[in-house]
């Protein structure tokens, strides 16, 4: 399974992924559900917020009213290295609307590419945070959801 998109929409979660059969056929899947994820899913999204600030060169104060809404993931060439764009929404104080913020595409460092542009390399801590979000998305696909309280 290779996840390509994780989105925390207003009232639902959307995950897109692909699987590859032994014959080489690639199947594309999408899951959109209004069921809440485990709290650790939302915590994983929250841990990406500082990287949006860093990669978009925004002031630190922006983070307080910013919500990470998704990640788009791509494999870079034949190297199987992951690259990503992170999307966030910032509430505005002088408008009823929001500002959408999308980081530039950055990828993992390729140890074989000595000429890789350092400005296109994703910070290692961000890659780890995205890896945690991917694990949470995989758990969501498998049916792990927030446990609701039962009043008995």
Residue 150 within a domain: no
Is pTM beyond 0.85? Reply is yes
The model's pLDDT over 52-79, given as tens digits with 9 standing for 90+, comes to 999 999 998 888 889 999 999 998 765 5
Residue 147 within a domain: no
Q: Any long-range contacts for 39-43 (C-beta under 8 Å, 24+ apart)? A: 39/146, 40/136, 41/13, 41/133, 41/136, 41/137, 41/139, 41/140, 42/8
Residue 149 within a domain: no
Residue 146 within a domain: no
Q: Residue 66, SS3?
A: strand
Q: Residue 60, SS3?
A: helix
Residue 89 within a domain: yes
The model's pLDDT over 113-136, given as tens digits with 9 standing for 90+, comes to 888 888 999 999 999 999 999 999
Q: Which domain holds residue 7?
A: 2-141
* Average pLDDT, integer, range 93-109: 92
Residue 69 within a domain: yes
* Average pLDDT, integer, range 17-41: 95
- Provide the domain count of the chain: 1
Residue 15 within a domain: yes
Residue 108 within a domain: yes
């Amino acid at each position: 399974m290779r996840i390509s998109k994780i989105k925390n929409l207003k009232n639902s979660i959307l995950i897109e992924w692909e699987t590859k059969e032994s014959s080489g056929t690639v199947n594309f899947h999408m899951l959109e559900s209004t069921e809440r994820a485990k709290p650790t899913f939302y915590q994983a999204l929250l841990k990406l917020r500082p990287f949006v600030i860093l990669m978009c060169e925004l002031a630190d104060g922006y983070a307080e009213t910013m919500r990470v809404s998704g990640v788009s993931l791509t494999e870079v060439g034949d190297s199987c290295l992951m690259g990503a764009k992170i999307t966030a929404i910032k509430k505005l104080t002088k408008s009823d609307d929001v500002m959408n913020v999308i980081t530039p595409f950055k990828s993992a460092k390729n140890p074989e590419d000595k000429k890789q542009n350092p400005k296109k390399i994703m910070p290692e801590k961000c890659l780890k945070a995205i890896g945690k979000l991917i694990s949470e998305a995989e758990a969501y696909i498998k049916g792990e959801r927030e446990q609701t309280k039962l009043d008995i």
